[in-house]
Amino acid sequence: MRVLGVDPGLTRCGVGVVDGVAGRPLTMRGVGVVRTPADAELGHRLVAIEQGIEEWLEEHRPEVLAVERVFSQHNVRTVMGTAQASAVAMLCASRRGIPVALHTPSEVKAAVTGSGRADKAQVGAMVTRLLRLDAPPRPADAADALALAICHIWRAPAQSRLQQAVARNRLEQAVAKHASKGRTA
C-alpha cells in the first residue's frame, strides 16, 4: 500500500509518501513541505496548496491520502488554517477517486511511539528509525506527514475489519427488523 500523509497547514503543509504493509519494513518514497507565504491572500494560498498537493499526487500516485483529523480545541487561529488546508488536500484526493483517511494526532503518536502523548522529538526519532533514515526529516511537519502515512498503513487492516463488522451488524439489524415487520403484518 502506498500512502501520502499530509500534515495540513497554510504556512507549511507537510507531505510524505510511504510504501508498505503492516508487519513488514516500510519504505519512504518522498518527503517535503508545501509552503505558502503568510502575507499572501488566503485564496492565493489555497491555490498554491492545491498545486503543491496535485504535484505530489501526480508524481507518487498514492492509493490512500491520510490526513490529520482537525479538532477545534486547539489554538483558534491555527485551527482555521489547518481546516482550510486539509479541505484542499482532501478535495484534490477525492477528485481523483483516492480514498481519504483521517487520523487524530494522538492516534498517530500512539501508532509510531506507543504513546498518544509523545512529543515532536519522539515522533521524529521513531519515524527516522522505522523508515531507516539517516536523520529526522525537517521541519517537524514533514516528519508528522510521514508518521501519518505510517499510522495509516498500520491501522488500515484493523479499521477495515471494524468497518466490515459495522456494515455486517447493520445488515443483520436491517434483516431482523424486516423479519419482525413481516411477522406483525
Give the footprint of a copy of itself on this chain (CB under 8 A).
41-44, 46-47, 50, 70-73, 76, 79-80, 83-88, 90-91, 93-95, 99-100, 102
Listed in order, strand segments (DSSP E) in 36-161 are 64-68, 100-103
The smaller minimum CB distance to a copy of itself, of residues 73 and 184, is found at: 73
Q: Which three cell numbers stand for residue 79?
A: 485551527
Report the nearest approach of a copy of itself to the CB of residue 161 (Å): 19
Q: CA 34, 108, 79: angle at the middle one, nearest 5?
A: 55
Q: Is 54 annotated as a binding residue?
A: no
Report the nearest approach of a copy of itself to the CB of residue 86 (Å): 7
Residue 71 CB contacts under 8 Å (≥ 6 apart), including other chains: 79, 104
Q: Is 68 a catalytic residue?
A: yes
Q: Is 68 annotated as a binding residue?
A: yes
The smaller minimum CB distance to a copy of itself, of residues 27 and 78, is found at: 78
The smaller minimum CB distance to a copy of itself, of residues 100 and 133, is found at: 100
CB 145 within 8 A of CB 15: yes
How many CB atoms lie under 10 A from the CB of residue 135? 7
Q: Is 144 a catalytic residue?
A: no
End-to-end CA distance of the chain: 50
Binding residues for Mg(2+): 7, 68, 141
- Residues identified as active-site: 7, 68, 141
